[in-house]
Amino acid sequence: MMIFLQQAGFRLLRRPGFRFFTLIFLLFFLSGCAGRLNKASQYYYAGQSQQALDLLEKGDRFGKRNQLLFLMEKGLVFHYLGEYQESVNSLLEAARLIEQFEVTSLSRQAGSLVTNEWLTRYKGEYSERLWAHSYLMMSYLLLGQYDDALVEAKQALASLDKQPEALTTDYFTRGLIALCFANLAEDNDAYLVYRKLADDSLNPALVAADIVRHASRLGMADEVEKYQPFLPRRLSEGGAELVLFVANGRIPEKRPGNVFFPPSIRFAFPYYSNTETPPVRVEILPYQWSSLPVLSSDLGDVARSALEARKMRIVTKEALRVATKEAISQSVGNKNDAAAEAIIRAALFLLEEPDTRSWQILPGRLTLLRIPLPPGQHQLQVRLSELGQIDQIIELPEVQLRQGQRVFYSVRL
Amino acid sequence: MQIFSWMIKVFFVGLLMLLAAGCTVTTREVGSDEKVIYDEGYHFSDKKAIVDAMVTSLLSKHPLLRTTDRPVLIIYGIANRTSEHISTSAMTDDMRQALLTSGRVRFVNKIQRENIERENSYQYAGNVAAETRIQKARQIGAKYMLTGTLRSMEKKQPRQFRLKKKTLMYYSLNMELTDIQTGLIEWADSAEVVREASKPFMGW
Residues of B in contact with A148 (CB under 8 A): 80, 85
ipTM of the assembly? 0.71
Cα–Cα distance, B146 to B123 (Å, whole number): 31
pLDDT at A27: 54
Does residue A109 come out as left (phi exceeding 0), alpha (psi in the -120 to 50 range) or beta? alpha
pLDDT at A9: 45
| Partner-chain residue, chosen from B80, B154, B199, that has the shortest CB–CB distance to A103 | B199
pLDDT at B71: 97
> Are A103 and B202 a contacting pair at CB < 8 A?
yes
> Are A150 and B202 a contacting pair at CB < 8 A?
no
Does residue B198 come out as left (phi exceeding 0), alpha (psi in the -120 to 50 range) or beta? beta
Task: Classify residue A339 as exposed, middle or buried by CB count within 10 Å of its CB (0-12, 13-18, 19+).
Answer: exposed
Going edge to edge, which strands form the sheet with A365-373?
Answer: A295-298, A365-373, A240-248, A406-412
- For residue B1, the distance in angstroms to the closest alpha carbon of chain A comes to 17
Mean pLDDT confidence for B175-190: 97
Residues of B in contact with A104 (CB under 8 A): 201-203
Q: What's the CATH number for A19-236+302-361?
A: 1.25.40.10
A151 contact B CB<8A: yes
DSSP state of A231: S
DSSP state of B104: S
Residues of chain A falling short of pLDDT 50: 1-6, 8-10, 12-13, 32
Contact A355, A116 (CB under 8 A): yes
Alpha-carbon distances of A209 from A194, A234, A306, A376, rounded to whole Å: 10, 11, 30, 22
- State which H helix or E strand residue A31 sits in: helix A16-32
Cα–Cα distance, B157 to A101 (Å, whole number): 18
| Partner-chain residue, chosen from A102, A106, A151, that has the shortest CB–CB distance to B83 | A151
Domain ranges of chain A: 19-236+302-361
A187 contact B CB<8A: no
A148 contact B CB<8A: yes
Structural domains in chain B, sorted by start: 38-129+138-197 (3.40.50.10610)
**Residue B23 CB neighbours (<10 A):** 7
| Partner-chain residue, chosen from A102, A154, A184, that has the shortest CB–CB distance to B83 | A154
Distance of CA A38 to the CA centre of its chain: 16
Q: In terms of residues, how long is chain B?
A: 204
- For residue A139, the distance in angstroms to the closest alpha carbon of chain B comes to 14
What's at A77, amino acid-wise?
V
- A82-94 core/surface letters (b: 16 or more CB in 10 A; e: else): ebbebbbbbbbbb
> Model confidence over B93-137: pLDDT tens digits?
999 999 999 999 999 999 999 999 999 999 999 999 999 999 999
> Model confidence over B8-59: pLDDT tens digits?
666 666 656 655 555 566 677 777 667 676 666 677 778 888 999 999 999 9
Contact B169, B195 (CB under 8 A): yes
pLDDT at B160: 63
pLDDT at B2: 61
> Are A151 and B85 a contacting pair at CB < 8 A?
yes
DSSP state of B124: I
Phi, psi (5° rounding) for residue A151? -60, -45
- For residue A72, the distance in angstroms to the closest alpha carbon of chain B comes to 19
- Mutation for testing the A interface, residue in B40, B81, B151, B202 having most A CBs under 10 Å: B81
* Residue of higher predicted confidence among A374 and B163: A374
Chain A residue whose CA is closest to B88: A147
Residues of B in contact with A154 (CB under 8 A): 82-83
What's at A339, amino acid-wise?
A
Chain B residue whose CA is closest to A161: B156
Alpha-carbon distances of B200 from A85, A110, A161, B85, B163, rounded to whole Å: 33, 18, 21, 24, 6
pLDDT at A6: 46
